[in-house]
Amino acid sequence: MARYLVTGGAGFIGSHLTATLLDQGHNVVVLDDLSGGARERVPEAAELVIGSITTESLVDDVFASWAFDGAFHLAAFAAESISHAVKRHNYATNLLGSINLINAAIRARLAFFGFASSVAVYGETEPPMREDDVPNPVDSYGNAKLAVERELAITMRLQGLPYFAFRMHNVYGEWQNMRDPYRNAVAIFLNQVLRNEPITVYGDGTQVRAFTYVSDIVGMFLAAAQRGDTRGQVLNVGSTATSSVLNLAYLVREVMGVPDHPIVHLSARSEVQCAYTDSARARKLLGDWPETDLRDGLVRTARWARVHGPVDLASSLRLEVPPERSAAWVGSIRARLDSQNPGVTHTSERT
């Protein structure tokens, strides 16, 4: 069996991928700084190295300690809507951290480098977004993801590192980080119900997304790794069924058994109104994957959430600019964190 590196393997999608690889008999080394993941999500059969991909010497040590057949790179700062307020953190993690891994992968002559990209690279592109569309990211997160995709294409052409990249979108399911106040609507809504707080929806809730149940697509990483015709490919991977954010809120109330739970509409924020993709190219190459109905996926996720229980919001992010130079909604979340944790400072970091 093969030995794989999974960066971000203690996080949401990464932990599911790690479990899948182990179930298929492979050896797995997880590299994760646990900023968004959890140690208990890493199975005992996997080797866990705690640290950040931004530390070049650590990345080099990991590659020197194990001979990898391939790498799955899922470690990232993944809150696209706030990425403009933490530019340095966004680019240090998502771009420069990725470069550390790419350099190490070149030296190690890996058979492949699998990269978790994002629908955020498309920006305001007319949906359904297709791989042939010209990327036009509208936030710093999408910009960093696109830069890594382009660097991987250059690296494969000039230095021979085979790669593939998955543009995923709105993945949800068991093991999501419900503490994060900035991202993952499903996790945020579930935690708000568990905490007996109103579900908060930005604007009128007509924003359209395609919510993807994690178990449907996680196996596609290994499928892509095992096929030579995926090398150099950037593929859309996700659900084709769309839902408004407000409809998602209604469904969360339903599956949690509280159909009358209050929903509060906050001021609209700057975000892409409609984001979903055409995944025909990936399905042709990799074979079809199941599409769990949104309600069914939410039922499973809600079952896990009830066992997990409500959690306090927490974020290690430090705004790099004053909140008033970010967005009103960013400042409101920061105020909630401050009020919840009065002994902890969450103010902006002046740079």
Considering the domain boundaries, does residue 143 fall inside one? Answer: yes
Q: Is pLDDT larger for residue 78 or for residue 243?
A: 243
Distance CA 287, CA 289 (A): 7
Domains held by the chain: number: 1
Distance CA 174, CA 306 (A): 11
Considering the domain boundaries, does residue 99 fall inside one? Answer: yes
What does 324-340 look like in DSSP terms, one character per residue? Answer: GGT-HHHHHHHHHHHHH
Q: Percent of the chain having pLDDT more than 90? A: 84
Residue 1 in 3-state DSSP? Answer: coil
Residue 201 burial (10 A CB sphere; 0-12, 13-18, 19+)? buried
Distance CA 110, CA 345 (A): 43
Residue 147 burial (10 A CB sphere; 0-12, 13-18, 19+)? middle
Of 77, 129, 73, 135, the residue nearest 104 (C-alpha)? 73
Considering the domain boundaries, does residue 105 fall inside one? Answer: yes
Range of the domain at 222: 3-171+211-236
Q: Does residue 127 have a cis bond before it (omega within 30 degrees)?
A: no
Please name the residues in contact with 72: beta carbons below 8 A apart, sequence gap of 6 or more.
4, 5, 6, 7, 14, 17, 114, 116, 221, 225
pLDDT value of residue 340: 64
Alpha-carbon torsion, ordered 198, 204, 207, 211, to 10 deg = 20
* Chain segment 7-48, per-residue pLDDT in tens: 999 999 999 999 999 999 999 999 999 999 999 999 999 999
Residue range 230-255: mean pLDDT, rounded: 98
* Chain segment 191-236, per-residue pLDDT in tens: 999 999 999 999 999 999 999 999 999 999 999 999 999 999 999 9
Residue 342 clears pLDDT 50, i.e. is over it:
no
Q: Which residue blocks in the chain are alpha helix, DSSP H?
A: 12-23, 56-65, 87-91, 97-108, 140-159, 185-194, 214-217, 219-225, 245-255, 280-286, 294-308, 328-340
Question: Cα dist. 322→162, 202, 317, 328 in Å?
Answer: 41, 21, 13, 11
Considering the domain boundaries, does residue 178 fall inside one? Answer: no
Q: Is pLDDT larger for residue 333 or for residue 266?
A: 266
Residue range 1-11: mean pLDDT, rounded: 97
Distance CA 165, CA 153 (A): 10
Considering the domain boundaries, does residue 329 fall inside one? Answer: no
* Chain segment 70-96, per-residue pLDDT in tens: 999 999 998 888 899 899 999 999 999
* Chain segment 134-146, per-residue pLDDT in tens: 999 999 999 999 9
At 71, which CATH number? 3.40.50.720
pLDDT value of residue 348: 32
Under DSSP, the state recorded for 277 is: B
Distance CA 216, CA 5 (A): 21
pLDDT-based confidence at 347, cuts 50/70/90?
very low
Residue range 283-303: mean pLDDT, rounded: 97
Residue range 228-255: mean pLDDT, rounded: 97
pLDDT-based confidence at 345, cuts 50/70/90?
very low
Mean confidence (pLDDT) of the chain: 93
pLDDT value of residue 346: 35
Residue 309 clears pLDDT 90, i.e. is over it:
yes
Distance CA 118, CA 221 (A): 14
One-letter amino acid for residue 313 of the chain = L
Please name the residues in contact with 350: beta carbons below 8 A apart, sequence gap of 6 or more.
none
pLDDT value of residue 323: 67
Say what the pTM is: 0.93
* Chain segment 257-291, per-residue pLDDT in tens: 999 999 999 989 889 999 999 999 999 999 999 99
Residue range 114-132: mean pLDDT, rounded: 97
Buried b (16+ CB within 10 A) or exposed e, 276-301: bbbbebbbebbeebebbebeebbebb
Considering the domain boundaries, does residue 348 fall inside one? Answer: no
Under DSSP, the state recorded for 107 is: H
Distance CA 228, CA 237 (A): 18
Please name the residues in contact with 157: beta carbons below 8 A apart, sequence gap of 6 or more.
none
Considering the domain boundaries, does residue 21 fall inside one? Answer: yes
pLDDT-based confidence at 124, cuts 50/70/90?
very high
Considering the domain boundaries, does residue 117 fall inside one? Answer: yes
Of 143, 151, 156, the residue nearest 109 (C-alpha)? 156
Residue 324 clears pLDDT 70, i.e. is over it:
no
What does 118-177 look like in DSSP terms, one character per residue? Answer: EGGGTTTPPSSB-TTSPP---SHHHHHHHHHHHHHHHHHHHH---EEEEEE--EE-TT--
pLDDT value of residue 351: 23
